[in-house]
């Protein structure tokens, strides 16, 4: 069993992680917790845990110093950073200290469990016999077109390219080290810290894939297959196709083998035009609906990593144009986006969360009046999901609070109960659709979060002293 220490000065986060994560499923056990960096360092020195989850901002000693000093006393200990958006730059800096990864608050339990799964695979590959790999010089030679250097490496590894003996470039995304998975000639080279390229003689291609499956690499990594090549001039292009295909683990959310061909590419331009229009109109529900639709297209494999990167950067460009800054960070390439989010779905969810402030109504003062950080997070979550089924118990589980305390805290900070707040948001949404769409009353009620037509009309009348039909007719008369 792998040992875990959690270091965070917010007890509700520690208890939520301890209770919410299925540690045993991944072979982990939480053996202790710490409320400050010094306490965590003492535990690391004493217990030498497999894994430490640490906050950035802690009293006595911050998370960055803990990681630096912890690595000295326990070099094999793995660190994961728990960080808020405000400390995102620090989380990035922590990566330079040898941190395995980071989770941004508010995070999902599934995000942490996904990280545990990858750590298990990382720990297993450390015990597997590895094949000596070349350094980054080979990949640099490919990128720069140094064909003499490439030829020397190919010949030295018994992979002569020719029409009679073509080879297949394969990129494995998510490996911490190359693994020995075959007894046939293979040229393996690093392309980044967790991405490796393989060049396999085509006749060994099927056996190589079988070896990947036997080693359970297919269950944890993205495998990109490039077109077969017969000369070194085709290598760069084929590797690019393979790299893009490997990132399909990010876009679809599923590991496995993928191939990408140019004729399969689909343009995301129409979606971006729609998003631009929605932002100009400050249409929050329209933005959420469009992003959910795009999320589905990623899951189905319609869009590649190119579209994911374009979507992310375009939205970050569009918001300053609308006069609002958001807390997103521009990434230099696909790799950074991949390691920041893990999946396109997580990226889209974060974009929706980051952009919520701009899309709120101008006269809405809920967030201004609320100074409590936890309540702000709850309000943001409700505003993002009010048209879905939300219960007090669901919110309590989501934010690791008891139902009674959640209701009392929300009423105190916001000035109305959770049920009243959700009902008001739903009614506001319904009013907008009654005026701006031709949808039926039943459809509008359902889209606003009311599953029952009669309940919708009753709540609507209680709030506005008229039925939805009367409201529509009254507003149409004023047009």
Cα–Cα distance measured from residue 202 to residue 204, given in angstroms and rounded to the nearest whole number: 5
**Nearest CA-CA partner of 353 in 306, 322, 315:** 315
Token pair recorded at residue 346: 């997580």
H or E, element range at 161: none
Cα–Cα distance measured from residue 250 to residue 319, given in angstroms and rounded to the nearest whole number: 24
Percent of residues, the chain, with pLDDT higher than 70: 82
Taking residues 287-299, report their average pLDDT.
Answer: 86
What's the pLDDT tens digit per position in 102-123? 777 666 778 788 888 888 877 7
Q: Is 2 helix (H, G, I), strand (E, B) or coil?
A: strand
pLDDT at position 250: 92
Res. 129: pLDDT tops 60: no
What's the pLDDT tens digit per position in 377-409? 898 889 888 888 888 999 999 888 898 999 998
Res. 25: pLDDT tops 80: yes
Q: Which fold has domain 137-264?
A: Alpha-Beta Plaits (3.30.70)
Q: Is 198 helix (H, G, I), strand (E, B) or coil?
A: strand
What's the pLDDT tens digit per position in 38-88? 999 988 887 888 999 988 888 888 888 888 888 888 888 898 887 764 455
pLDDT at position 332: 55
427 within 8 A of 445, measured Cβ to Cβ: no
**Residues near 296 by beta carbon (within 8 Å), at least 6 away in sequence:** none
pLDDT at position 236: 87
**Residues near 347 by beta carbon (within 8 Å), at least 6 away in sequence:** 308, 312, 337, 340, 341
**Residues near 380 by beta carbon (within 8 Å), at least 6 away in sequence:** 353, 356, 367
Can you state the angle between helices 468-477 and 453-464, rounded to 10 degrees?
60
Q: Which CATH architecture has domain 2-126?
A: 3-Layer(aba) Sandwich (3.40)
- The torsion angles phi and psi of 478, rounded to 5 degrees, stand at -85, -5
181 within 8 A of 211, measured Cβ to Cβ: yes
The mean of the pLDDT values for the chain is 80
Res. 128: pLDDT tops 60: no
Taking residues 260-285, report their average pLDDT.
Answer: 74
Cα–Cα distance measured from residue 430 to residue 407, given in angstroms and rounded to the nearest whole number: 25
Torsion sign over Cα 58, 63, 65, 66? positive
Cα–Cα distance measured from residue 244 to residue 258, given in angstroms and rounded to the nearest whole number: 9
What's the pLDDT tens digit per position in 215-250? 778 888 899 999 999 888 888 888 889 988 999 999
399 within 8 A of 378, measured Cβ to Cβ: yes
Cα–Cα distance measured from residue 187 to residue 306, given in angstroms and rounded to the nearest whole number: 27
pLDDT band for 201, please (50, 70, 90 cuts).
confident
Cα–Cα distance measured from residue 125 to residue 115, given in angstroms and rounded to the nearest whole number: 15
Q: Which residues pair with 199 in a beta bridge?
A: 169, 187
Cα–Cα distance measured from residue 288 to residue 278, given in angstroms and rounded to the nearest whole number: 10
Look at 80 and 98; give whichever has higher pLDDT: 80
**Nearest CA-CA partner of 178 in 140, 139, 150, 147:** 139
Which of 124-138, 233-247, 337-351 has the least mean pLDDT? Answer: 124-138
Specify the pTM: 0.50
What's the pLDDT tens digit per position in 404-413? 999 998 888 8
Look at 122 and 91; give whichever has higher pLDDT: 122
pLDDT at position 252: 92
430 within 8 A of 460, measured Cβ to Cβ: yes
pLDDT at position 326: 47
For the chain, report the end-to-end CA distance as a whole number of angstroms: 68
Percent of residues, the chain, with pLDDT higher than 90: 9
Cα–Cα distance measured from residue 108 to residue 255, given in angstroms and rounded to the nearest whole number: 20
Cα–Cα distance measured from residue 389 to residue 212, given in angstroms and rounded to the nearest whole number: 42
* DSSP label at residue 186: E
pLDDT band for 323, please (50, 70, 90 cuts).
very low
406 within 8 A of 392, measured Cβ to Cβ: yes
**Residues near 421 by beta carbon (within 8 Å), at least 6 away in sequence:** 379, 382, 410, 414
Neighbours of 389 (CB within 10 A): 8
Token pair recorded at residue 185: 């000639």
Question: For residue 111, what are the CA distances in angstroms to 14, 17, 162, 317, 347?
Answer: 15, 11, 45, 27, 12
Question: For residue 59, what are the CA distances in angstroms to 38, 48, 232, 403, 426?
Answer: 8, 22, 56, 30, 42
Which of 43-52, 312-321, 466-475 has the least mean pLDDT? Answer: 312-321
**Nearest CA-CA partner of 395 in 167, 100, 148, 106:** 106
What's the pLDDT tens digit per position in 152-199? 878 777 777 888 889 899 999 887 777 766 666 778 888 877 788 888
Domain boundaries, the chain: 2-126, 137-264, 269-359, 366-477
Res. 127: pLDDT tops 70: no
Q: Which fold has domain 366-477?
A: Arc Repressor Mutant, subunit A (1.10.10)
């Amino acid at each position: 069993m792998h040992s875990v220490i959690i270091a965070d000065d917010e007890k509700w986060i520690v208890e939520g992680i301890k209770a919410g994560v299925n540690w045993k499923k991944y072979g982990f056990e939480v053996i202790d917790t710490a409320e400050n960096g010094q306490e965590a360092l003492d535990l690391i020195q004493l217990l030498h845990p497999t894994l430490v989850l640490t906050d950035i901002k802690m009293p006595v000693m911050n998370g960055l110093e803990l990681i630096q000093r912890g690595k000295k006393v326990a070099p094999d200990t793995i660190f994961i950073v728990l960080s808020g958006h405000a400390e995102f730059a620090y989380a990035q800096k922590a990566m330079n200290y040898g941190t395995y990864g980071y989770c941004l608050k508010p995070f999902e339990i599934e995000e942490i469990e996904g990280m545990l799964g990858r750590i298990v695979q990382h720990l297993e590959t450390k015990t597997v016999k590895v094949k000596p790999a070349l350094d980054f010089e080979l990949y640099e030679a490919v990128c720069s077109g140094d064909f003499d250097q490439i030829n020397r490496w190919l010949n030295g590894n018994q992979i002569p390219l020719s029409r009679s003996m073509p080879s297949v470039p394969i990129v494995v995304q998510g490996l911490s080290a190359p693994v020995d998975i075959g007894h046939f000639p293979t040229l393996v080279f690093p392309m980044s810290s967790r991405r490796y390229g393989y060049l396999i003689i085509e006749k060994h291609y099927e056996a190589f894939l079988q070896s990947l499956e036997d080693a359970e690499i297919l269950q944890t990594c993205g495998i990109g297959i490039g077109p077969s090549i017969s000369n070194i001039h085709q290598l760069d292009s084929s590797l690019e196709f393979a790299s893009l295909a490997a990132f399909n683990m990010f876009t679809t959310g599923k590991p496995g083998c993928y191939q990408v061909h140019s004729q399969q590419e689909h343009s995301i331009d129409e979606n971006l035009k729609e998003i631009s229009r929605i932002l100009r109109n400050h249409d929050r529900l329209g933005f959420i609906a469009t992003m959910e639709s795009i999320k589905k297209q990623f899951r189905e494999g319609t869009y590649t990593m190119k579209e994911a990167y374009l979507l992310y950067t375009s939205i970050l460009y569009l918001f300053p144009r609308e006069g609002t800054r958001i807390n997103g960070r521009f990434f230099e390439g696909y790799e950074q986006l991949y390691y920041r989010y893990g999946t396109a779905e997580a990226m889209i969810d974060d974009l929706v969360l980051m952009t919520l402030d701009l899309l709120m109504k101008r006269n809405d003062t809920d967030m201004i009046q609320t100074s409590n950080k936890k309540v702000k997070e709850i309000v943001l979550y409700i505003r993002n999901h009010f048209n879905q089924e939300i219960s007090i118990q669901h919110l309590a589980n989501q934010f690791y609070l008891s139902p009674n305390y959640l209701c009392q805290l929300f009423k105190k900070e916001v000035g109305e109960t959770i049920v009243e707040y959700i009902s008001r948001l739903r009614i506001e949404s319904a009013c907008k659709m009654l005026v701006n769409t031709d949808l039926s009353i039943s459809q509008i009620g359902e889209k606003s979060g009311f599953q029952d037509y009669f309940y919708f009309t009753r709540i609507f009348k209680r709030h506005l002293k008229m039925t939805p039909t009367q409201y529509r007719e009254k507003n149409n008369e004023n047009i």
